[in-house]
Chains A and B, each alone.
Chain A
């Protein structure tokens, strides 16, 4: 009996020792840590396999095109939920563990967070990347340089904004399509009198609000290389907040939670008449409000001053190369092909409605056609025009997740009448500075 027990104990000990040995055996030698060969941008010897994480639907088919033509640089695609839905979280843990993929999809507003955590390779050491600058729409390039001399990603897509509106309802009620924000407010009153709402003010889409600020050349963040300046309550921000506050106070806009069934239904039933949204919004409307097919049109965004021609941006992303990659040269080669070649851009547009960030990309044949849902209007012409009117200097801060959450909380209160949009921005200003300090990121005050 005593014997037996001892045998069991020894057996267990032996097994665990074996298991441990097995584990560490597998680990040694393949651990590539965080310290890659970052300085040089030279081709690697032999065949290379790149890991690339993206959540763009159909991206694996686009990578397959590349793999066919480049047997020596194979790309393995990995997918998951969208960035804020979990993929950024996993990028950060992979960076921490030193096994991040070579390339990853990162939206513009999250790039600064990754740079601050020292997670990105500076691509300006690669000649090809520097030379490609001219191919991109200038402001998209500004999004990846983050206001520095470095380049922290290759722009992929953009979200220039315009005004989606129910042309049938505007016409039936004899309301002119607004070209300035002042006219928009007047139209809002007329629409309200006709029983509808001109638009829905979303407390969740802080990106849209930022787009309005961006349109008026406002700026939320700036970075002089040493310190960050936070300016959520700047002049333009204040103007935009007061404008929408007035619409809210006078009950001229609906306040459904965005992206819900109620929200879709408000558009589908004709209760809400317009949406200031990005180019990808075209798809949101056609999928969320299928009964309104043929009744929508697209016009340029209303302007702050009559005669201006300025646009905001909502969304867009880049392909970044993560710190620790052993194949910087090959990674940038693939990223450039993915975002500049007609072949890849056509495929991306077809599979996921990706709206390219290159000037040549805006001339893709698929973007020149009339869209049936919009009564055959060539809506992409409007967006191509808007894309050229976006202020190139807008910069996102390094703690956007927190900023969005705080602004959104404040907006929610404002919508229920317990505060104002301006107060929400002021509170978020303070908490953003506090968050930056807590992460030891220098802030100018």
Chain B
């Protein structure tokens, strides 16, 4: 009744910006759009610059407009990059794919199982374990690099593929997310039903629970993939052989040698541009799951 009266009695004054309610004013909407527009530009301009820079040869790079094309040398640059130093760049890209792909996959499997166990099984010290893992989220990976190096030195595993891969398969954030998600999306009844039908715990997990947790697992995978791909400090500390470098570290080491080998400037730029392509692909492919994943938990 009161609602009706209010609506009926609404005057033009009530619709002015001062009126309450979820409806936004054109002004604030416009402001929001402008702010978003500015930030979008702010994020996209460096990528645009990178793309433009990778299409130029060395002379044009310094002398022509930084945000617009000069002579188109993109493919020639890519060709040079891929053949420089026996194609070491391709090797670095494959290494990165190896570290990030395998690392993220294993991290997801472990984090998923761990989070599931924490959510669905009752055992002594469960909260203590969980809180410890949660504490792990707060420790920056950089702070762990040096202790890890000393540990790996003890077992003579520095400067190996494993030195970068093994620390990457740990994802405290993944465990956290998996636990939250599993307790919200995997009904106890379903697990019980599985047990009654005689399925083992492992089988129940892999055939039923894991599928229900898929959106969360995809999210964990994506997060972990990106953070391993971008991880720089760990390879810097662990690796000495060029053949083992991931692409970020390889490009960085080129970048520190610009004074001696000027042509590296072009390679670093083209190399950086190419190195973000796999990340973009991963995002586009998995985005559907990802949005789904973040949304599902919140609405339930």
Contact = CB atoms under 8 A, between A and B. Distances in A.
Nearest to A24: B155
Given A8-B201, A85-B252, A57 B59 contact: no
B242 A79 contact: yes
Interface residues of A, number: 47
B287 to A, nearest CB: 34
A265 B64 CA distance: 10
Contacts of A184: none
Contact of B260 (A23, A53, A280): A280
A78 B252 contact: no
B121 A30 contact: no
B259 A280 contact: yes
A78 B149 contact: no
10 tightest A-B CB contacts, nearest first: A287-B262, A97-B153, A85-B256, A78-B240, A81-B253, A81-B256, A27-B155, A82-B256, A23-B155, A290-B59
B62 A261 contact: yes
Contacts of A31: 154, 156
A55 B58 contact: no
**Most B-side CB within 10 Å, residue of A8, A55, A81, A264:** A81
22 contacts: A5-B201, A24-B155, A31-B154, A53-B240, A55-B257, A57-B260, A78-B242, A80-B240, A81-B257, A82-B257, A86-B252, A86-B253, A93-B150, A93-B237, A94-B158, A96-B150, A97-B158, A98-B153, A265-B62, A268-B62, A283-B262, A287-B262
Nearest to A84: B256
Contacts of A78: 159, 240-242
A93 B233 CA distance: 13
A291 B63 contact: yes
A99 B62 contact: no
A85 B150 contact: no
A185 to B, nearest CB: 28
Contacts of B149: 93, 97
Interface of A: 1, 4-5, 8, 23-24, 26-27, 30-31, 53, 55-57, 78-82, 85-86, 89-90, 93-94, 96-99, 101, 259, 261, 264-265, 268-269, 280, 283-284, 286-291, 352-353
A55 B256 contact: yes
A265 B154 contact: no
**Most B-side CB within 10 Å, residue of A79, A265, A269:** A79
B123 to A, nearest CB: 8
B146 A93 contact: yes
**Most A-side CB within 10 Å, residue of B150, B202, B256, B260:** B260
A82 B261 CA distance: 13
A283 to B, nearest CB: 7
B95 to A, nearest CB: 15
A24 B156 CA distance: 10
B195 interface: yes
B236 A89 contact: yes
A57 B253 contact: no
Given A290-B58, A291-B63, A85 B155 contact: no
Nearest to B233: A86
A101 B239 CA distance: 12
A353 B260 CA distance: 7
B63 A90 contact: no
Given A5-B121, A264-B62, A27 B146 contact: no
